[in-house]
């Protein structure tokens, strides 16, 4: 379990250090998911991608304020 925890912590640090690249990756992942589902779940994918992007923006803003 500690390996997963370490990987998640590294991912969070990378996301905080490079928010623009991370947001771009979220967009690409959402596009790939839409293509894989044939458009049947676009609304759910958009909602999840939007939530992830909002989280990344808030995290990046919090890092600037600190």
**Residue 15 CB partners (closer than 8 Å, separation 6+):** 22, 56, 59
Residue 65 confidence (pLDDT): 56
Residue 15 confidence (pLDDT): 75
Residue 55 confidence (pLDDT): 85
State pLDDT tens for residues 27-41: 999 999 999 999 999
| Average of per-residue pLDDT across 16-24 | 81
The span from the CA of 21 to the CA of 10, in Å, is 15
Q: Which residue has the higher pLDDT, 36 or 2?
A: 36
> What predicted TM-score, i.e. pTM, was given to this entire model?
0.71
């Amino acid at each position: 379990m500690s390996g997963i925890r370490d990987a998640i912590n590294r991912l969070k640090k990378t996301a905080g250090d490079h928010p623009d690249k991370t947001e771009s990756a979220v967009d690409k992942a959402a596009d790939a998911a839409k293509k894989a589902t044939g458009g049947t779940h676009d609304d759910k994918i958009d909602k999840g991608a939007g939530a992830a992007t909002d989280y990344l923006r808030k995290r990046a803003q919090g890092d600037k304020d600190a």
